[in-house]
Amino acid sequence: MNSLDMNKQLKALIGIGVYQSEDEAIQDALQHLLQAHPDYRLKVAIYRYRVEDISLGEAAEIAGVSMERMKEALINSGIQPRLGPRTQEEARNEVRNLREHLNEPDNK
């Protein structure tokens, strides 16, 4: 399917009410792509950790892996993990990510 056909398909999906906007359709397509290819999630997390300066906990959440597995993936990619939160907000996010990973309730 060429890009013109894809654009027509996208507009049709919006026209029949499957999606409200192109952004919503693209977001859904990316979500399905990343669900179908867990290795892409890990690669995206490594890239964003390196480029965007996100925390280890955020990278692990994006990749859908434990923080320990994320550290291993970073090291295997030649990236030295930055350990420990830099701000209180980062610390809160890491605690939240850990609780979610362990399936514990969030006691704010």
Q: Pick the closest to residue 48 from 70, 29, 33 (CA basis).
A: 70
106 falls in which pLDDT band (50, 70, 90)? low
| Domain identity same for 13 and 58 | no
| Domain identity same for 42 and 10 | no
45 within a domain of the structure (yes/no): yes
| Domain identity same for 52 and 82 | yes
Domain span holding position 95: 38-102
Say if pTM beats, i.e. exceeds, 0.75: no
Higher pLDDT: 47 or 101? It is 47
pLDDT at 1: 74
The predicted-structure confidence for 89-99, as pLDDT tens digits, reads as follows 878 887 888 88
pLDDT at 32: 95
Amino acid identity of residue 56, one-letter, is L
| Domain identity same for 53 and 77 | yes
| Domain identity same for 97 and 44 | yes
The predicted-structure confidence for 26-72, as pLDDT tens digits, reads as follows 999 999 999 999 999 999 999 999 999 788 989 999 999 999 999 99
| Lookup: tokens for 82 | 């930055």
pLDDT at 39: 93
Number of domains in the chain: 2
How many angstroms separate the Cα of 83 from the Cα of each of 2, 8, 49, 54? 45, 47, 12, 12
Amino acid identity of residue 96, one-letter, is R
Q: Is 23 exposed, middle or buried (0-12, 13-18, 19+ CB in 10 A)?
A: exposed
